[in-house]
A and B are shown apart, each in its own frame.
Chain A
């Protein structure tokens, strides 16, 4: 920032003038009203449908269902499998992307030849649309006959594996991690670079070695950025859909079906609106718990 902004104290938050408040509300209202409708109406409808018998192709199914949609869902082993897969996907990808992202952020903070280009290469997968990533991995990389990895295994004398059939969940997780690791690197690298040079130099003068610097200077500095990455990724990872649809279609069986894919399958493949809505309500509840923490973390930042 230049000198001008430094000496100008930030204006205190003020109640504003009456006319200002009025036009403020007027200017704000289009966006707020649209978002209000967008966030409330479908939510209420989902809630409503979840207590109804409602099948898109079976008109004999109607009327109030009570908690039966929830009951069927909660006692369905497929649902439990989907929940387990959802959790696995979220936790697995988080561990890979945040752990790897932190290390890579520190690595790409170092000076080396062509660092700028290397950074750009690393973050690239984040900008690739999910369907492309999924197909790229499914075919060009992991295809049991024509894929690059199959060739590599053969060339060292191993039998190629049909990854998506043998380890569907782990493979999907790997593909998703490939998309989200760059996101973590992008955010965490920015955060590392915002570390005050003087603080680093002070640590150097104090005789801190690389490990001590990482533990006591860089990690604490990154903690908030890591929190933000964890929460934003969680929100997206909870509803991973395209990658599963394109690679395994949830299979084999329900081995790679997560909550999002299950709801989609219930609603648009089995046409069971009631059951899908019950699943939707559960997904919203889970997401809200995560969102609460994220909103709080961002709110704290808003004070500063």
Chain B
């Protein structure tokens, strides 16, 4: 197993810089997820690690060895592609055998390995099938099997679940996580789906426009987004973001007044220079409190109530025409046009300055390890 280290990696196509200096250390056995909107460079970064793209500048180290100029097959990696990229003219057995054959592994050894892997992945009945005869989930498993038989130092996954339907995706997510726990292999996984990132990662790397916005554990990113981009990207439904004016900054925190008229004191490091300026207040839908318990509740009208069963998402128009989403556990009685009162518990509020950077909290939330 292996560590992967990226040192100020850059990539330029023709004249456009796609990756603008990425540095990152991936520990042995870690499950790292690259996440970001399409075009953020996450797949390019993965392909550079794989050796399918040239590295324009910077160093890529696997187990401490610089591999910029090493061919993809000799980096000790295996990759699972979004489209699976199975060889359509070879059966399942031959698909898994191909790399071993090229590596000149003896026949008996190959057979042993493939049969063992096929057993783990429940592929035994399909070894003689061509990929075209398999379902999406089975193809996915073959692609994973093809990676596992090579016994690679690092697994690379490029949006492997995006071609599966929702139910299968959930199931494969569990299987992949289980598999990772058993193999304890260093894994780099690219996705645009933040749920995949949150559920599987040891460490999430949020990318945008070729730079890293934040690196951290799923809960770290959830509770302490470093900036507006990460705040918006992580969590579903997304964090509510509202314009606010700083009216005071003192030892208790920063007091802001919302456009709706409420004021909230958020326990972030006070910055006197921000008094009188405009900032953004963020609060997750699940943290907005319904009801009039607060001294100065906000008022709104329900536009739409999405009853998900266990949860309800209320789309609420607050007084000035802005909309927020409130997630509640009950709320069955609430339907469209119902008036609601709500409040923002200060301990759950985030403040972002004009540059979109999160203002540091005075007390960090203890994260579940």
For residue B175, give the distance in angstroms from its CB to the closest CB of chain A.
20
A-B pairs with lowest CB-CB distance, top 3: A17-B54, A8-B83, A4-B83
How does the 8 Å CB contact mask read for B76-92 relative to A, with 1 for contact and 0 for none?
00000011100000000
Which residues in chain A, 105-157, are within 8 Å of chain B measured between CB atoms?
none
* A274, B53: Cα distance in complex, Å: 56
For residue A91, give the distance in angstroms from its CB to the closest CB of chain B.
45
A18 partner residues in chain B, CB cutoff 8 A:
54
Residue ID in chain B nearest A5 by CB atoms: B83
For residue A40, give the distance in angstroms from its CB to the closest CB of chain B.
30
* A15, B16: Cα distance in complex, Å: 12
Residue B14 contacts which of A4, A5, A8, A15 (CB distance < 8 angstroms)? A15
Known: A17-B53, A17-B54, A18-B54. A7 touches B163 (CB 8 A): yes
Residue ID in chain B nearest A20 by CB atoms: B54
B84 partner residues in chain A, CB cutoff 8 A:
4
* A17, B13: Cα distance in complex, Å: 10
Known: A3-B163, A4-B163, A7-B162. A14 touches B13 (CB 8 A): yes
* A4, B88: Cα distance in complex, Å: 12
Which residues in chain B, 54-80, are within 8 Å of chain A measured between CB atoms?
54
Residues of B within 8 A of A (CB): 13-14, 53-54, 82-84, 162-163
Consensus secondary structure, chain B interface: loop
Residues of A within 8 A of B (CB): 3-5, 7-8, 12, 14-15, 17-18
* A12, B83: Cα distance in complex, Å: 16
B82 partner residues in chain A, CB cutoff 8 A:
7-8
B54 partner residues in chain A, CB cutoff 8 A:
17-18
A5 partner residues in chain B, CB cutoff 8 A:
83
B14 partner residues in chain A, CB cutoff 8 A:
15
* A7, B83: Cα distance in complex, Å: 8
Instruction: Tell me whether A15 and B83 are in contact (CB under 8 A).
Output: no
A17 partner residues in chain B, CB cutoff 8 A:
53-54
17 contacts between A and B (CB under 8 A): A3-B163, A4-B83, A4-B84, A4-B163, A5-B83, A7-B82, A7-B83, A7-B162, A7-B163, A8-B82, A8-B83, A12-B13, A14-B13, A14-B53, A17-B53, A17-B54, A18-B54
For residue A182, give the distance in angstroms from its CB to the closest CB of chain B.
35
* A7, B38: Cα distance in complex, Å: 13
Most B CB contacts (10 A, CB to CB) among A5, A8, A12, A14 go to: A8
A12 partner residues in chain B, CB cutoff 8 A:
13
* A3, B82: Cα distance in complex, Å: 12
* A123, B364: Cα distance in complex, Å: 78
Supplied contacts A14-B53, A17-B54, 16 more A-B pairs, CB within 8 Å: A3-B163, A4-B83, A4-B84, A4-B163, A5-B83, A7-B82, A7-B83, A7-B163, A8-B82, A8-B83, A12-B13, A14-B13, A15-B13, A15-B14, A17-B53, A18-B54
For residue A9, give the distance in angstroms from its CB to the closest CB of chain B.
9
* A15, B54: Cα distance in complex, Å: 10
* A259, B53: Cα distance in complex, Å: 53
Residue ID in chain B nearest A16 by CB atoms: B54
Most A CB contacts (10 A, CB to CB) among B13, B53, B54 go to: B54
A7 partner residues in chain B, CB cutoff 8 A:
82-83, 162-163
* A3, B162: Cα distance in complex, Å: 11
Residue ID in chain A nearest B15 by CB atoms: A15
* A3, B84: Cα distance in complex, Å: 12
* A7, B13: Cα distance in complex, Å: 23
For residue B157, give the distance in angstroms from its CB to the closest CB of chain A.
15
For residue A228, give the distance in angstroms from its CB to the closest CB of chain B.
31
Most B CB contacts (10 A, CB to CB) among A5, A17, A18 go to: A17
For residue B285, give the distance in angstroms from its CB to the closest CB of chain A.
30
For residue A6, give the distance in angstroms from its CB to the closest CB of chain B.
9
* A7, B14: Cα distance in complex, Å: 26
A14 partner residues in chain B, CB cutoff 8 A:
13, 53
* A18, B68: Cα distance in complex, Å: 13
For residue A24, give the distance in angstroms from its CB to the closest CB of chain B.
14
Most B CB contacts (10 A, CB to CB) among A4, A5, A17 go to: A4
For residue B308, give the distance in angstroms from its CB to the closest CB of chain A.
27
